[in-house]
């Protein structure tokens, strides 16, 4: 038995699949955001059809209304997970500039791995972990038994079959791309 075991070296995880959830009222604002996202981050990989309305548990206390439409935009660029606060900061800039034409627009960045789906938030809550720069991370789904399992704290939006279907397909594409590496 070797008494001099070497300590395990931390391994950097594989890059994650980057996406944004966009809640909006004005289609033009959405398409302007898509253009900005492609210019800043990378070309879109997948774009959902309009999905059920994203909601917030404290909707009545928000500084602006929530839009009637929601889409998910997946981008080709793979990200390091520690980039999430920087990506949130960039999305907040987009949101601020686009609020002139659509006061309801909300942009929620996140990433997907083979094991979970994580969403950035600027709000602290019991189930969120603080990262840095005022950004928290929340696990929305874990992948178990060949399917996404929404966490009990996840917004109702993430429990809709259409949303689960989109993220299931995104995960399959992502895992397939990892196998080709």
pLDDT in tens, 15-61: 999 999 999 999 999 999 999 999 999 999 999 999 988 776 554 44
Place of tokens 């259409």: 162
Its pTM stands at 0.89
**176: its two tokens:** 């397939």
What phi and psi, each to the nearest 5 degrees, are found at residue 149?
A: -115, 110
Whole-number Å distance between alpha carbons of 178 and 118: 19
Asked if residues 174 and 116 have their Cβ atoms less than 8 Å apart, the reply is no
Concatenated DSSP letters for 77-138? EEE-GGGHHHHHHHHHHHHHHHTTT-TT-EEEEEEE-SSEEEEEESS--TT-EEEETTEEEE
Domain ranges (residues) in the chain: 16-180
> Parallel, antiparallel, or unpaired: how do β-strands 129-132 and 44-47 relate?
unpaired
pLDDT in tens, 90-141: 999 999 999 999 999 999 999 999 999 999 998 888 889 999 999 999 999 9
**76: its two tokens:** 């080709």
User: What does the pLDDT read at residue 46?
Assistant: 97
Does the pLDDT of residue 6 top 70, yes or no?
A: no
| Rg (the chain; Cα; Å) | 17
DSSP code for 30: H
For residue 45, the tally of other CB atoms under 10 A from its CB is: 17
User: What does the pLDDT read at residue 65?
Assistant: 64
């Amino acid at each position: 038995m070797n008494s001099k075991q070497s300590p395990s070296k931390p391994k950097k995880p594989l890059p994650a699949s980057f996406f944004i959830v966009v809640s909006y009222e004005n289609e033009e604002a959405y398409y302007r955001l898509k253009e900005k996202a492609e210019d800043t981050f990378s070309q879109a990989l997948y774009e959902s059809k309009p999905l059920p309305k994203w909601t917030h548990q404290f909707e009545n206390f928000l500084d602006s209304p929530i839009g009637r439409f929601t889409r998910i935009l997946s981008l080709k660029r793979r990200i390091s997970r520690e980039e999430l606060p920087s990506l949130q900061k960039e999305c907040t800039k987009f949101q601020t500039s686009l609020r002139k034409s659509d006061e309801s627009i909300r942009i929620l960045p996140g990433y997907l791995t083979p094991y979970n789906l994580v969403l950035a938030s600027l709000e602290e809550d019991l189930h969120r972990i603080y990262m840095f720069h005022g950004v928290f991370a929340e696990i929305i789904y874990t992948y178990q038994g060949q399917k996404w399992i929404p966490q009990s704290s996840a917004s109702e939006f993430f429990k809709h079959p259409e949303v689960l279907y989109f993220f299931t397909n995104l995960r399959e594409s992502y895992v397939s791309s990892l196998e080709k590496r």
